[in-house]
Amino acid sequence: MGTVIYKFTIYRYDEHSAAYVKPDMDSQYRPAEEISYFEKEVNPITRLRLYLNNQGWWDDQEEASWLKDTEERVNKARCT
């Protein structure tokens, strides 16, 4: 396989500063529909998961297994 280039469209879900954040500050300058759209339609992780599922390279069972394995590795690393 040759060179692979990944292009992702990203979206900032949080405010620009974490110094002081009001609980609903995000909704002051972005409509909830916009945030929802980007979470469901544009999010690169969501899109990659959908692509892999459509290609038959990934499924919910594999993801559950991967998540369990990853959680175990992280917990083990924390303990050492």
Structure confidence by residue, pLDDT tens digits, 7-57: 776 777 666 666 655 555 556 677 888 888 888 887 888 888 889 999 999
What confidence score (pLDDT) does residue 26 get? 59
Q: How many CA atoms lie within 13 A of 8 on its CB side?
A: 11
- Which DSSP helix (H) or strand (E) runs through 28? helix 26-29
Q: What is the pLDDT of residue 23?
A: 57
CA distance 46 to 73: 23
Q: How far apart are CA 30 and CA 34, in angstroms?
A: 7
Q: Tell me the average pLDDT across 49-69.
A: 93
pTM above 0.85, yes or no: no
